[in-house]
Chains A and B, each alone.
Chain A
Amino acid sequence: MDLLTYILFFGLALTLITWLSPARWQIWVILAGTVLFLALEAPVSLLILGLTTGSSYWIFRTSLSLTTATILILVQNITIFVLYKIGIGAALLSPVDRLIPLGLSYYSFRQIHYAIERYKGKVGPHNFGDYAAYMFFLPTILIGPINRFQPFLRNIYRRRWDANLFSEGLERILYGYAKIVIIGNFLLTNKLTAVVTALEGKNEWLATYLRVLNYTLNTYFQFAGYSDVAIGLALLLGFRVMENFNYPFLAPNINEFWNRWHISLSSWCRDYVYTPMASITRKPIIGIIMTMLVIGLWHEISLKYIIWGVYHGLGVAVWHLYNRSELSKRLQNSLPAYDYWAILLTFHFVLFSFVIVKEENWQAIVQTYRLLLGLA
């Protein structure tokens, strides 16, 4: 059984048991279900999540100052995250399995978010059970969204049986499934790949372009599809979690693209990387570059992703300069169908960045760019 089907069946069984349980136990049932899932699928991840959840809550109950406690949690989570991302963490535990523990990228960022919000004094009254329920929430644990604690807490106390919400959840899962299976797996992976293969040797430029397009669209539909399933499962359990995508390829500029693509990560980085960096240095450009670097490195700690991050960071910075310039105003007034050109340009800016991520090595990256630009 593939992971998607497995999550789906596990999630549906958990939904059924949850709603059949007495109301005051339901949160605990979800938590227990998540523990069971992780125990079966990823015991190492369960161990890390359990320990870090405990420490990131109880550290605030010690006599340490708020600042020290927050810094300690940041150090703890960033260390574990980086060790696994560069492969040391996995190697320490198992020399064979070099994969990052299931969900680590998401729950580490959730814990950092929680710590900073506590530091800011923005977390309402809650207990360890509320926090544990947030950290051990099956629908979002595997692939996000990096949902926030405050709305989750609110959901814990607002939850009620709601037929509309439930059917909305089923609908979202169906959409997600369609995005992954029909569009992603069937149309893009099977059909478009066949077209690309047929074109190879006949029209190299078109074949290369379609290959990158295929990769870009597939990434989006798979990721957005899994997010839909996660959001849908959360709805079935009576929780509304934040959206992760909002038609990103219709964004009219790269800044807007980042408001629409992987929203939970980009808004996380805006709040916890950009704002602190920009407020310390008072130089927004540094904040932007750092934010995009973190987004890049969140995916993978490698030179490829550093370059990818800087590429996007520069893109956003240049857009801000352009947006305040006379040129922008003049073009908007004079260029026919300006909005469509803007969308097309933004899409291709993103598409070009996917070349860096897609290709195995630097020669392949350079070769693809040469082909796309007609230099080969």
Chain B
Amino acid sequence: MSDITEIFQRLEQKSVQNKTFAQLEKAYSYAELTDTVHRIGGVFQAQGLTIGDRVILSSRDNFALGSLVLAGLRYGITVILMDPDLGSIRAAELIALCAPKGFFVDASLVDKWDLEKKEGFLFRWVKRAKKKGTLFKKMLGGKKSTGKGEQSFLETLAEMPKADFPDRIDPATIAYILFTSGTTSTPKAVQISHKALWANLDTITRVYELDEHSRIFNILTTYHTDGIMQGPVLAALNTAGWYHPMEFTVDQVPRIFDAIYKYRISHFITVPTMLAFLLKLAEGYEDSFSGEEFRYIVTSAAPFEVKLWEDFEKTFQTRVVNNYGLTETVVGASYSGPEEQTRKVGTIGKPIDCVFRIVDDKGRELDSGEAGELLIKGDNLLTNYLNNEEATRQALQDGWFHTGDIAVRDEEGFYKLVGRKKNLVISGGINIQPEEVSEIINTHPAVVESVCFGVPDPVFGENLHACVVGEAGTDLDAVAIIEHCRTQLEPAKIPKQVFFLNELPKTISGKIKVRAVRELLEKEDVADAVQGESHREGIFAAAAEAFKVPRQQININTTAENLDGWDSMAHLLFVTKLEEQFKIRLSSKEIMVMSTIREAEKIVSQKAR
């Protein structure tokens, strides 16, 4: 099994030092990384930290975060990754839970989280935004630094002495702590040991066939296990490159496709939501994963819908590996693909280097085909939840980790997720405990009560919706609720929609009937979906007739570029057929824009409404 001492010996070899460690806003070499890690060690030493001590890390500077995590691992310091988007109340709770020896944070968080008043040392810096006009400033001899207290991470560290590495780190030492939503409103602090971390990353390396030539494109948030462990840490383990040149936003989708090609990416670590966005904006970029260097797309963190999986692979002519794991299993536990014998679309594949069991409520093992809770045993499991014995006792029994996911094993040994035991919403790969959000909404002075729940969504997997009862006579609206949430919650946890009711339906015992509220909203969504689907069939038929091709040849991804019969004459015929069929009149602009079936469906749906 790998260990951090041996990894850093490799990183300090001459042949590795010049290699790219990370391509962020700019590129950083392994020489820069190891130099930075030694200087962070200097800070650890100056603060008198010893192996096993805990520090909190929070920054939007990805190089700072990546190198701090690796430094923590190398010096045996337990790093706690805390999302800078956390509100002050939640941050205070988590700091109290973890009792760290100090903080490495962006200067902006010091006031936001009131860190001056907390116990422990404070190491802060400024995350500089990219400035315009740098070239001219340089030419005119402008000064680099912006003054005292305004130094960047590297400038602040430059003043620190370098420290030697400790000889070895005990594998049982806690490597890092990440927070996960539990069954209560307060997140749990998952403690992962060095042993678990390297056991799992060794498995990942083998399954995804990573080596020193690999280039890992991972732009997931570095406060999620998939973003940080399958990003800089996995890259360092393999002396490979970590590519995170932009943050994910919808208008960056074309740049993501471009970056995959430009940087000769071999592995793309992502989540289903990102794949759904890429698929929606695929037109013209279908060859993005066809470069000879490209190996695999790996998706994790959330259920991967069969339709998305199939459509994505068909459109981009590539293979997606579906990885199942939780924060508690480091990263992965089972993998559907890339090997043919472990791949089955719609499943989470088979466990590798760990074992699965499916049990009923009484803990009895179930046969294949029967649904029950999924349990995992292996070296990749958490040590415990920090300062939460009750949660640890419930989750870890006789070495088996209780995932809370309901799964079925088929005859061939493939596992499939069919539900969730705990009330958890996974939206865009982020776990949300609905009670956590309801609790925050309820603190609004004009709210009587509220309930939050997940609603299926084709892009995000699930969306969090909130139903709120306001005080009589108050002028409460969705904007006020969202604004209120924004001050206390990370952006991903803010409800996508807020509905208002005069009262929430309840059981006799006074419990809110979530299902009754949920069904009410789902009905509206289904009505919309049915309308869209009915247009689709008609459009396919019109296209098949106009372009003189079999109906099966037309699908939602058909374009004038990829269908031979779709020439300019046939285009007009297609348009006329659509007009007749849906009793609409299309404008010249609409006719000009309609060069894909997807576009046609969008326009027809709008018109026919």
Q: Which residues of A contact B (CB under 8 A)?
A: 116, 119-122, 124-125, 150-151, 154, 157-160, 270-271, 274-276, 278-280, 282, 284, 287, 320
Contact = CB atoms under 8 A, between A and B. Distances in A.
B568 A275 contact: yes
Contacts, number: 57
Given A125-B251, A158-B261, A279-B575, A274 B568 contact: yes
Contact of A119 (B254, B284, B575, B589): B589
B280 interface: no
B586 to A, nearest CB: 8
A119 B259 CA distance: 27
Given A275-B592, A282-B572, A287-B572, 18 more contacts: A120-B589, A120-B593, A122-B593, A124-B251, A125-B251, A151-B284, A154-B257, A154-B258, A154-B285, A271-B592, A275-B568, A275-B588, A276-B588, A279-B575, A279-B588, A279-B591, A279-B592, A280-B588
B576 A157 contact: no
Contact of B572 (A116, A151, A157, A279): A279
A282 B576 contact: yes
B409 interface: no
B588 A160 contact: no
A120 B568 contact: no
B571 interface: yes
Contacts of B261: 158, 160
A150 B262 contact: no
A73 B588 CA distance: 19
Interface string B256-296: 01110111100000000000000000001100000000000
Contacts of B259: 157
B115 to A, nearest CB: 36
Interface in B551-609: 568-569, 571-572, 575-576, 586, 588-589, 591-593
Nearest to B587: A279
Contacts of B593: 120-122
Contact of A284 (B254, B572, B591): B572
Contacts of A276: 588, 592
Nearest to A323: B569
Given A120-B589, A121-B593, A279-B591, A158 B568 contact: no
Nearest to B575: A279
Contacts of B576: 282
B interface SS class: helix
Interface of B: 251, 254-255, 257-259, 261-264, 284-285, 568-569, 571-572, 575-576, 586, 588-589, 591-593
Given A125-B251, A275-B592, A280-B588, A160 B572 contact: no
A275 B258 contact: no
B570 to A, nearest CB: 10
Contacts of B568: 270, 274-275, 278, 287
Contacts of B572: 278-279, 282, 284, 287
A122 B262 CA distance: 23
A44 to B, nearest CB: 30
A300 B156 CA distance: 66
A121 to B, nearest CB: 7
Contact of A159 (B254, B262, B575, B586): B262
A interface SS class: helix
A275 B251 contact: no
Given A124-B254, A278-B572, A157 B262 contact: yes
A116 B589 CA distance: 10
Given A154-B258, A157-B258, A284 B264 contact: no
A141 to B, nearest CB: 24
B52 to A, nearest CB: 44
A119 B285 CA distance: 22
B79 to A, nearest CB: 33
Contact of A160 (B257, B262, B592): B262
A256 to B, nearest CB: 10
A279 B589 CA distance: 9
Contacts of A150: 284
A159 B261 CA distance: 8
Contacts of A320: 569
Nearest to B573: A284
Nearest to B135: A25
A159 to B, nearest CB: 7
Contact of A158 (B262, B571, B575, B588): B262
Contacts of B569: 284, 320
A157 B246 CA distance: 13
Nearest to B260: A158
A124 B572 CA distance: 26
Nearest to B261: A158
A252 to B, nearest CB: 15
A284 B257 CA distance: 37
Q: What 6 pairs between A and B have smallest CB-CB spacing?
A: A157-B258, A279-B591, A158-B258, A279-B588, A158-B261, A160-B262
